[in-house]
Structure 1
């Protein structure tokens, strides 16, 4: 299990890499938020991360996150980053500050209905499957504009960004076209002025490829193994966070 010294060392290494990527691409370090993906680690490890002042926490399933959230939610900002089923919306709304995985109209309708009932406004990222991998969730890039036009009519949803997952590769440079394409999609969406407010954020980049994502404009990077590790016996699903 992660201890304080290990976390401080790993965070320092991540910070150095993010700062270098920002310098190479002419960006300010303040533009990039580092999210600790804690879905494979224990309550104790998640507590350590939050108590060390790391604010952003990413979880993929409510049933795995519930105990952590119930004990620690006041210490940080919580991001739901996993595939969200419409019948699980009731578990996520009101608990997570951001939903990164809005990828279809039926889910948008479920979120809007529940949020309207609860008098909430939910900050969401539209998830786009830029790489076209069958194993990845997300809408096709060609569907983004029509999806945005539909969500525009749902005032309980605020679209704050776009999200994608790049293919896992031993050569991270190969992910650059995926991240660049998501940034271009965001820029196109903003040029069309479809949504009431400009879309600012790009949620992209994981442990294997976050340097490239930062160079291409990421504002949230989702880091698991490189930042918080994985506790023994943790679930595995081929993720590279």
Structure 2
């Protein structure tokens, strides 16, 4: 199927009035991105700051407006490059990184929206703060003047059968509910970012309102 057909199918599977669809564009061409934008995509997610920087001018030159989300691990030395472009940074997982984002955003006169990345399944191969430390870090981030915590993000263990990760999504939704209940000042807790191509429908059933889909839109990545 075409990119447009893939997007249409995904939108049939989720209520897009309640769930935000982010097209993950890592290793996909600008022409493919433009095709997705023409088919109704309003937000794109990049894993690497360099790739976001490289593609942004071409999308702008085509006259297209789209939200740029940074969904991959962010090193502190890349913050100065990421903050000017990113509408939402999904991958904040330490106080040190949050402070660096705060400093950079302050210099730009910006309030940077971020999500707290949590390693909910405690996988050694994944980034993210431990589940038990997430609310502590959320409270620390809420003290920063130029950072606005907007919710949580996780990457569930990969599985062929999405039902096997339903308990992970349930647990993460519980954490999201606990975070909202804290009513922290200087925050806007509205996004629960979980679910990708192989498991997004289960994630949505368990409360996700932001899903990150790459292969399901563009097909396999071109390396």
Both proteins in one fold, TM over 0.5: yes
The reply on whether 1:213 has 2:203 as its aligned counterpart is yes
Which structure has greater strand proportion? 2
Stretches of 4+ aligned residues off by more than 4 angstroms: none
Measured in 2, the distance between the counterparts of 1:178 and 1:65 equals 30
Q: Give the match for residue 132 of structure 1.
A: 122
- Picking from 5, 9, 14, the partner of 2:10 is 14
Superposition pairs for residues 97-108 of structure 1, below 5 Å?
97-108=87-98
Q: Give the match for residue 54 of structure 2.
A: 67
Retained in 1: the 8 A contact 2:117–2:128? yes
Retained in 1: the 8 A contact 2:89–2:113? yes
Q: Please list every run of 5 or more consecutive structure 1 residues that lacks an aligned counterpart in the other structure.
A: 20-28, 235-241
Superposition pairs for residues 77-226 of structure 1, below 5 Å?
77-226=67-216
The reply on whether 1:39 has 2:26 as its aligned counterpart is yes
Q: Please list every run of 5 or more consecutive structure 2 residues that lacks an aligned counterpart in the other structure.
A: none
Shift of 1:198: 4.6
Distance 1:136 1:185, change over 3 A: same
Q: TM-score, normalised by structure 1?
A: 0.87
Measured in 2, the distance between the counterparts of 1:173 and 1:231 equals 25
Measured in 2, the distance between the counterparts of 1:68 and 1:197 equals 30
- CA deviation digits over 1:91-115, x for unaligned, max 9? 1011011000001111001001111
Measured in 2, the distance between the counterparts of 1:161 and 1:115 equals 18
Secondary structure, in 3 states, of the residue corresponding to 2:217? coil
Measured in 1, the distance between the counterparts of 2:182 and 2:87 equals 27
Q: How many residues align?
A: 220
Retained in 2: the 8 A contact 1:202–1:217? yes
Shift of 1:144: 1.2
- Picking from 38, 47, 50, the partner of 1:51 is 38
Q: Give the match for residue 239 of structure 1.
A: none
